[in-house]
Amino acid sequence: MNDIRDNANDLPLLGDTPSTEAVARAPIAITQVDSVNVDGSNVESAQAPASAGVFVPDNGKTNLFDLDRTQLEDFFEQTLGEKRYRAHQVMKWIHHRYVTDFHDMTDLGKVLRAKLEEHAQVRAPMVIFDKPSTDGTHKWLLGMDAKNAIEAVFIPDKGRGTLCVSSQVGCALNCQFCSTATQGFNRNLSTAEIIGQVWVAARHLGNVPHQQRKLTNVVMMGMGEPLMNFDNVVRAMSIMRDDLGYGLANKRVTLSTAGMVPMIDKLGEVSDVSLAVSLHAANDELRSQLVPLNKKYPIEQLMDACVRYALRKRGTSVTFEYTLMKGVNDQPTHARQLVRLLRQFDNAVQMKDAAKVNLIPFNPFPGTRFERPDEVAIRAFQKLLNDAGMIAPVRRTRGDDIDAACGQLKGQVMDRTRRQAEFRKQLQAQGLSQPDGSVGDAAA
């Protein structure tokens, strides 16, 4: 049976969506770093395509989702000729009360509301569908423009609720065990498209910052490499942590990276969020096969950057994510290599438990060559780490019945690389894909 996602391949998105040619004036600069050849195509690591800056629809109005507190204050003062504190009122209406119509912002005067109507808008991502899992996990497919959509996932747990947020349409990297990588890459998301995911989920949950907080954590672990979209991601995380935004503590916002070494250093200079690193192997030969970015930034460079980050944030640990794949990286020798590597990290930071490991059993997707280890192998690997004194919980699989588990997010991507077409050919060769590219049993 086809996934509901497959039915959205050619689904027109709701609302009046401009063409990509009309999308894009981008007054906020995007940080540029070196290009990285990760899959045979040269992808600029942090330079977004023209359509990936501040989203300005055909009407030319500024989307207030794109602006953090300081930028919104500047907008009120410089564009609207209003007092800066008025920006605070509007932020609360948007992020606390989920109001997007200026006419409903009743503590604003009529003149100010008219100015806002003329110069601004509050444009959230378009919900194509949302789907609950039997375990309480919830997934949204959100339209970014006429041809692209991304996925965001909310995972409830005891005393906490975590939202997994995407940073790119597809992913510029090509990690071999990740479903998102098979979709290829189109562009970076704007700040509005990133924080808009939080807004959609928080509104759905009835989240009230500082009172009925149902959304307690945000992890930048969805589609894309966040550090390749540095400025927009940092700005969105600022809104997440702002009391006028979602009021999350620094430690409750986590950025996960595959290892963009220069940008880890830059992140340490401008933000205090928690850092997670997609490690998955403790030797360069294997990690380069699994995470091609490792060829440019090998493990020694990556770990040095993590040490620098941890030293800047005294008392803060770094989480290392390790996806366990049967017969690939789940053997005792791999566990011992991991212990040795992370002990060196602890010693360099001079802090016990500076490194934490998050063990993630592989979540299968159609066409993958990787398999999930059995429970015995998973627990044996964990025991070796625990016996060495390491904190190494096994992440419980959540949302796999709706393809919302870690590594399963896909969305709808107008690929600018060759990866999506190549993966579809592989699926067809295995009898797992229709000629039109949809996944499912050809005989169904």
Is 37 annotated in a binding site? The answer is no
Is 300 annotated in a binding site? The answer is no
Is 164 annotated in a binding site? The answer is no
C-alpha distance across the termini of the chain, in Å: 7
- List 37's β-bridge partners, or say none: 42
- Check if 118 is active-site: no
Is 278 annotated in a binding site? The answer is yes
Amino acid at position 133, single letter: S
Is 88 annotated in a binding site? The answer is no
Token representation of residue 176: 């071999």
Is 306 annotated in a binding site? The answer is no
73, 164, 193, 406: the active-site residue: 406
Report d(CA 204, CA 215) in Å as an integer: 10
- Check if 151 is active-site: yes
151, 193, 306, 321: the active-site residue: 151
To which residue do tokens 């996602």 refer?
5
Q: Return the closest-CA partner of residue 165 out of 197, 190, 136.
A: 197
Is 280 annotated in a binding site? The answer is yes
Is 268 annotated in a binding site? The answer is no
Q: How many CB atoms lie within 10 A of CB 184?
A: 24
Convert the chain into a string of H (helix), E (strand) and C (coil).
CCCHHHHHCCCCCCCCCCCHHHHCCCCCCCCCCCEEECCCCEEECCCCCHHHCCCCCCCCCEEHHHCCHHHHHHHHHHHCCCCCHHHHHHHHHHHCCCCCCHHHCCCCCHHHHHHHHHHEECCCCEEEEEEECCCCCEEEEEECCCCCEEEEEEEEECCEEEEECCCEEECCCCCCCCHHHHHCEEEECCHHHHHHHHHHHHHHHCCCCCCCCCCCEEEECCCCCHHHHHHHHHHHHHHHHCCCCCCCCHHHEEEEECCCHHHHHHHHHHCCCEEEEECCCCCHHHHHHHCHHHHCCCHHHHHHHHHHHHHHCCCCCEEEEEEECCCCCCCHHHHHHHHHHHHHHHHHHCCCCCEEEEEEECCCCCCCCCCCCCHHHHHHHHHHHHHCCCCCCECCCCCHHHCCCCCCCCCECCCCCCHHHHHHHHHHHCCCECCCCCECCCCC
As annotated, the binding site includes 171, 175, 178, 224-225, 256, 278-280, 363
Active site residues: 151, 406
As annotated, the binding site for [4Fe-4S] cluster includes 171, 175, 178
As annotated, the binding site for S-adenosyl-L-methionine includes 224-225, 256, 278-280, 363
